[in-house]
Structure 1
């Protein structure tokens, strides 16, 4: 029965569903920490806002440093083993963070979790791109992203409830959800993708060729711009915009983010189909333009209702920029290839780390609304770079049959 498991109403291979379930577990666990991590850090006393931010940034910073080593690690251990080990490292880090007795211990434990996060992120995307032919990569990326989106919506609510038990309960819950995800990956994922399974997917291309490919270049820039805006500027400036400029309570920020997340989740599967049937190039061009309009409208919103509508528009563009670039990387790299995926992932991390800092500096010097401007310009550049991509839809092979049990 397990060997014939399929996504409902689709012809996607089983690995896509398994990876989406793992993404959901990871996102739920990560989300439960959002309400409590800053408060827990401050509970050690004499902890400034900068020190709180350092705890949050340490995870992403260490993940960025670790990413270049993940490609060789995947070649050594295989993507499934790398993914599983990475998840268990983050689980151990989360549990250790819950036992932290000082601020320094919390900072170190959170930072070490970034090692496992890099291993999971790169290996999961490598497995995903290798699990399907080129004609399905957009839909597969959409399914995978939907797991993160749904988990990300549920996580903060669960974290709020767990915080009533104790400030450390969410850390242990996160460790448990990650352990579940690791076991799921170890038991249900195949050890390799189409190439290893003998189904004739295109072989990986040499790295220098990939780096020169306009598809890969456009995808990396799109990931950088999306990280800068979605995980950076939008998250750091919008809460301030809502309270100080629009004069609303902080709860309205949660409402705006929740509504836009629902819109993105609902549309992510149709977006994936568009990427596969119409093409990566028009998806990146359109996604960049829609996201540019959306984030600009967020900055210029005269009231909370326009801001919520603008956030929904941006969600459409961000969803496209979270799907089409991954498919383009798979096309450029020839299916599954750890190092190009690691480079692609690093662009998002760099954008997420630098975006809030530069956006904050611009906001301090010129104003909150102006803090969004550079990010909007980067999204517009995404559309311009996508014009260099080849037109058309990749001519891939049909989806493979699941391999026999002895091939697993």
Structure 2
């Protein structure tokens, strides 16, 4: 009955469905814009406390641990109580978390490094719990779109991520600049602690609160039938997914892909700082380049390829592309930082060319895997369990992002290329799993 109701609603009012998708994508974009702002400054923020780079990995793991725990719960609650309240609650909590995150340095200066780090980790745990809302957003999209259009619609969520990573890191890098910090200090009251680290955090909080306002004003609950869902535990949801022959390889693939990708997400900014001399602003510009490619890949290319070749083949192509990207990144320092030509611009170096190739590969690979796997999950789940199924698979991804960052950071400290090569090797079984079914 739920399946018929959802399909009828989507087919009868395609304009309403498109508007609903646009609103959810907009909320995800605003939320991710705030998240993207933090990315280029976070490793430097951690280093400002005078601790090992291993703490960068631990901080990333704390976010993913909370997301791992929250995603199935938020997905199930969205099945039972509705998508809209879950999305609103999560973006509001994220705003509070980013606000607290910006005060961690002040706490460290006033009370001590340990207290500052405790605030830093506490805020990341809170933000990670809110970050589990992607399952509700994906389920919302599945509610209002028919199966044949679902890959393209889910790709728009990926494009919103891409847009967030285009503008977010760029805004974060600009806000971390001396010019922006000086201007903010002159404009804001003296009691507001404005630094190259706090200012981007406060901006991220502001964007999350803007997403909350947008959801409250324009987001409507999708029309669907909600039955009295059985109460299941966190572990039971995973057992059920792993017992399902269709969902099991997808859950494992989400875990392994996320584990492989942590070497990039956690150590890329320190890597380009150490080997290419990039600061927060330069790293932000490069992340914006990757995000811009992600808009095209996830918003247009991946959806079109999925319709023509099927989501499973697209996901496999993404695995190959990400595998190559990780290997290219591992060897990129060998290219050096010399200018390509004696009379050309000094910034156009051989190393930059290699990094640009890496960016193209990683953008397509990540987009194809994300959209391909999400579409396969949607097809494997019933209408009334879309949220729970997305929650479990997203949580499996969060588990990979929980385990991976400390390992990647520790491996990077020992041998810089090891987290990237290890990530490439982890993608091999993912390719095998995705070949097990036609």
Change over 3 Å in CA distance of 1:207–1:293 after alignment to 2 = closer
Q: Which residue of 1 aligns with 2:204?
A: 174
For 1:390-405, list aligned pairs within 5 A: 391=438
Per the TM alignment, residue 358 of structure 1 is displaced from its structure 2 partner at its CA by 3.0
| 1:249 equivalenced with 2:252 (yes/no) | no
In 2: Cα distance, 1:62 partner to 1:361 partner: 21
CA-to-aligned-CA distance 1:42-72 (integer Å, 9 cap, x gap): 66x6655555654444322222222342244
| 1:66 equivalenced with 2:97 (yes/no) | no
The 10-residue stretch of structure 1 (177-186 or 338-347) with the greater mean CA deviation from structure 2: 177-186
Q: Name which structure has the greater RCO, CA cutoff 8 Å, separation 6+.
A: 2
Correspondence for 2:152 among 114, 133, 139: 139
Correspondence for 2:125 among 100, 104, 111: 111
Q: Which residue of 1 aligns with 2:429?
A: 381
The 10-residue stretch of structure 1 (155-164 or 31-40) with the greater mean CA deviation from structure 2: 31-40
| 1:265 equivalenced with 2:295 (yes/no) | yes
Correspondence for 2:23 among 18, 22, 27: 18
Change over 3 Å in CA distance of 1:40–1:192 after alignment to 2 = same
For 1:182-197, list aligned pairs within 5 A: 182-195=212-225
TM-score, normalization by structure 1 = 0.79
TM-score, normalization by structure 2 = 0.74
In 2: Cα distance, 1:61 partner to 1:295 partner: 24
Correspondence for 2:324 among 293, 305, 316: 293
Per the TM alignment, residue 375 of structure 1 is displaced from its structure 2 partner at its CA by 1.5
Query: Secondary structure of the equivalent of 1:173?
Result: helix
CA-to-aligned-CA distance 1:226-257 (integer Å, 9 cap, x gap): 32233x1123444565566xx53225755654
In 2: Cα distance, 1:109 partner to 1:314 partner: 29
Number of equivalenced pairs: 368
Change over 3 Å in CA distance of 1:264–1:33 after alignment to 2 = closer
In 1: Cα distance, 2:376 partner to 2:120 partner: 38
The 10-residue stretch of structure 1 (157-166 or 82-91) with the greater mean CA deviation from structure 2: 157-166
Change over 3 Å in CA distance of 1:207–1:249 after alignment to 2 = closer
Q: Which residue of 2 aligns with 1:405?
A: none
Q: Which residue of 2 aligns with 1:323?
A: 371
Change over 3 Å in CA distance of 1:311–1:362 after alignment to 2 = same
Q: Please provide the CA RMSD for this pair.
A: 3.1
Contact 1:91 1:174 in 2 (8 A): yes
In 2: Cα distance, 1:260 partner to 1:36 partner: 17
Correspondence for 2:84 among 75, 80, 83: 80
Change over 3 Å in CA distance of 1:207–1:226 after alignment to 2 = closer
**Structure 1, unaligned runs of 5 or more:** 1-9, 197-205, 392-408
**Structure 2, unaligned runs of 5 or more:** 1-14, 108-115, 185-193, 227-236, 336-350
